[in-house]
Amino acid sequence: MPVTGTRAPAAWVRAAGRSVLDALLPPRCLACGGPVGAPGTLCPACWEGVAFLGPPLCAACGFPFELAPEAGDAGGTLCGACHVDPPPYARARAVMAYDDGSRGLVLGFKHADRTEAAPAFAHWMARAGHELLADADVIAPVPLHRWRLLARRYNQSALLANQLGRVASVPVVPDLLLRRRNTPSQGHLSRAGRGRNVAGAFAVHPGRAGRVRGRSVLLVDDVLTTGATVAACTRVLKRAGARQVDVLTLARVVRPAAPD
Ligand SMILES: O=P(O)(O)OC[C@H]1O[C@H](OP(=O)(O)OP(=O)(O)O)[C@H](O)[C@@H]1O
């Protein structure tokens, strides 16, 4: 029942409050820390440096194409790698290319406690993944092993998933998946090594099977490089009866698949 006398403050009160806050804590660019007009944004120079991804894309992995596909192929064209070896997930999409323009932004969020960027990132992800979100019954982050969680103090993918769920009004189950093994970081491993590193590393939480069976799950991670991590998560979700698994990441490496 609504409580009387708790109406939202008038617009002028909110604006005055914002001005005071801006004077005390001026909004800063999420990437370089320089001054910006509003919180949760990038300055023009950093914005310019980020390669935001958009169509035309591979219908499966989301790899950006330089040229639009032939008329008639629209929406269904696969990149060469997905033609040869289709991923287990249905669609992967990302906000931006993981490169020199975005690395600081992503690593600051993951390793340097720059977690205040999560709401802005979630809005960007909601835009990049709107088709996926329209089909999603539940959002689940790629989990960290508990030792890694203890060391980092937060799971950056869970922060993204929670904010995304709020923005898109889709339920989030932060512990839908568990990381059973404390896998070494994927960094510096080859494509095949990454696959081996995460093989069998994930499981559906025994108490959450009912949130998976027959459902469309949207997996959220910070970065997709080879796709080995999200593929391993997808396999366990499919084995647990997920109807569909899509993947949404903040960034993805954009380079053609190289042989090992
Ligand atoms: O697409 P892939 O080739 O699987 O690589 C992407 C994965 O690698 C990174 O995590 P990592 O396992 O390295 O964990 P860490 O960064 O937390 O050490 C990243 O957060 C992704 O989960």
Say whether both 114 and 189 belong to one domain.
yes
Q: Is the CB of 246 under 6 A from ligand 1?
A: no
Query: Percent of the chain at pLDDT above 70?
Result: 92
Is the pLDDT confidence value at 193 over 90? yes
Here the ipTM equals 0.96
Per-residue model confidence (pLDDT) at position 20: 76
| Dist. CA 164–CA 114, nearest whole Å | 17
Task: State if residue 194 touches ligand 1 by the CB under 6 angstroms criterion.
Answer: yes
CA–CA gap between residue 46 and residue 110 (Å, rounded): 18
Q: Do 7 and 109 fall within a single domain?
A: no
The model's pLDDT over 60-101, given as tens digits with 9 standing for 90+, comes to: 999 999 877 665 555 689 999 999 999 999 999 999 999 999
Q: Whose CA is nearest to atom 9 of ligand 1?
A: 186
193 lines ligand 1 (CB under 6 A): no
Phi, psi of 166 (to 5 degrees): -65, -45
- Provide the edge-to-edge strand list for the sheet that holds 216-224: 91-97, 244-252, 216-224, 138-141
Distance 235 CA to ligand 1 centre (A): 17
Average of pLDDT values for 201-228? 97
Phi, psi dihedral angles at 227 (to 5 degrees): 90, 5
Residue with tokens 């990149």: 79
Report the pLDDT value the prediction gives residue 6, as an integer from 0 to 100: 57
Q: Are residues 86 and 168 in the same domain?
A: yes
- The residue to mutate among 148, 180, 229, having the most atoms of ligand 1 within 8 angstroms of its beta carbon, is 229
Ligand 1 atom at shortest distance from the alpha carbon of 222: 20
Query: Structure tokens of 75?
Result: 């929406």
State which residues form the domain around 73.
Answer: 50-252
Burial degree of 253 (CB within 10 A; 0-12, 13-18, 19+) = middle
**Number of domain units in the chain:** 2
Please work out whether the CB of residue 226 comes within 6 Å of at least one atom of ligand 1. Answer: yes
Same domain, 161 and 73: yes
127 & 14 share domain: no
**Looking at the structure, do residues 92 and 11 belong to the same domain, yes or no?**
no
pLDDT of residue 19: 72
Query: pTM of the full predicted structure?
Result: 0.90
